[in-house]
Structure 1
């Protein structure tokens, strides 16, 4: 069944009732986690609703945890048949002071992703190239650059390597993201919202993916139905699983 896809939603910040209302709108929620506690909450949500769970430690939270915590979360994914680690990655833009520690945590997730062929749902602010080169170095097969706003020349390398980039509803107010939409191949795009994050004047919500599909179709001069189909196809390729 064709669905709208929110590839990056912090579901643990919503009530089950709120999440249900989005799912009833035919939206598939890929639910990322920020830390051990939210990772457990994401797994609890999966028991009640049909979602795609991701567990991880956000780079902004990495300073609170150690390598053992990261290994425990990787083990949690394996034991619970979770196919996605996220939100994980590196951030040089907002929290550069903790970069070295972020790196040590991220290395654990890279190792797990390589060994068990897991999807990485990536935070890469200001560290787009560093993360990309680590993916290549570690032979990572499945990776998604959440809300990509990095250099366009690197975008070509990312998509050329078969990785995916997140198209966020922030295109409404973010010019550099509109440039990414223009230049990224549809075959490497997935839609997302980062809900319930508030970006400037925009309060992001999962149902914004509907407008994002329409905007991509307009920019690419393609039928909306075709864009929606390709986004679904991209999800299935990334997760190696039918919707």
Structure 2
């Protein structure tokens, strides 16, 4: 059975029982982490539920950690055969005061992604250009821009570089994201929830990816099944492995 994919979920904030219910709805979860503690929790969820784990340090948490902590997370990823670092990246919109620390930590994850051929599950708020240019500079092959709301002209460059963007249920209330969905090619889309984040009264949930697939199909005037197949294909290309 072809699965729905949630490419960016903070699974460590849910109970195992709650996650099991989402998985029971035929949703495959890619679980991101915020810091060392949640990275360990995500690895435990991999053992219990078979989710796809991403471990890292969120830019919002960067002020609490050093390059040493980032290197320890890289070591943890390699030791546990984790193929994805996330949530990692840069943020100039919400936490610009810690940008220098964010950058030092992000550069460690960039080097690791290059050395070990890892996926980067990226936070890029207000720093879309900076994140992208560092990917190119470091010759990164596999990257995913979570909940993309950046400039459309940069989107052209992201797509031409073979990177992927996240389509989030925020399309329900966010006009900027709806424009991205209209503009972007299905060839470079993946669905996500960013659950359990609350955005302007919208409580994001993994099962909203089902409605998101339906919305993409409507916007692109194609069959839901075709969107679902392509999202699965994109996941497999990004991770170089089947679900």
Bin the TM-score by the shorter chain: over 0.9
Q: Within 5 Å, give how 1:90-239 maps onto structure 2.
A: 90-239=90-239
2:29: which partner in 1? 29
CA shift at 1:23, angstroms? 0.3
TM normalised by structure 1 equals 1.00
1:15: which partner in 2? 15
CA shift at 1:17, angstroms? 0.2
CA distance in 1, matches of 2:186, 2:35: 31
CA distance in 1, matches of 2:224, 2:47: 33
1:3: which partner in 2? 3
Structure 1 residue runs without a partner (length 5+): none
Structure 2 residue runs without a partner (length 5+): none
Q: Deviations over 1:124-143 (max 9, x none)?
A: 00000000000000000000
Ranges of 4+ aligned residues in structure 1 off by more than 6 Å: none
State the Cα RMSD in Å. 0.4
CA distance in 2, matches of 1:95, 1:157: 25
Q: What SS does structure 2 have at the residue aligned with 1:85?
A: strand
CA shift at 1:98, angstroms? 0.3
CA shift at 1:161, angstroms? 0.5
Q: What SS does structure 1 have at the residue aligned with 2:6?
A: strand
TM normalised by structure 2 equals 1.00
1:64: which partner in 2? 64
What is the aligned length?
Answer: 243
CA distance in 2, matches of 1:222, 1:76: 42
Q: Within 5 Å, give how 1:33-44 maps onto structure 2.
A: 33-44=33-44
CA distance in 1, matches of 2:76, 2:107: 16
CA distance in 2, matches of 1:214, 1:24: 19
CA distance in 1, matches of 2:107, 2:39: 18
Q: Deviations over 1:145-194 (max 9, x none)?
A: 00000000000100111000000000000000000000110000000010
Q: Deviations over 1:177-225 (max 9, x none)?
A: 0000001100000000100000011000000000000000000000000
CA shift at 1:2, angstroms? 1.0
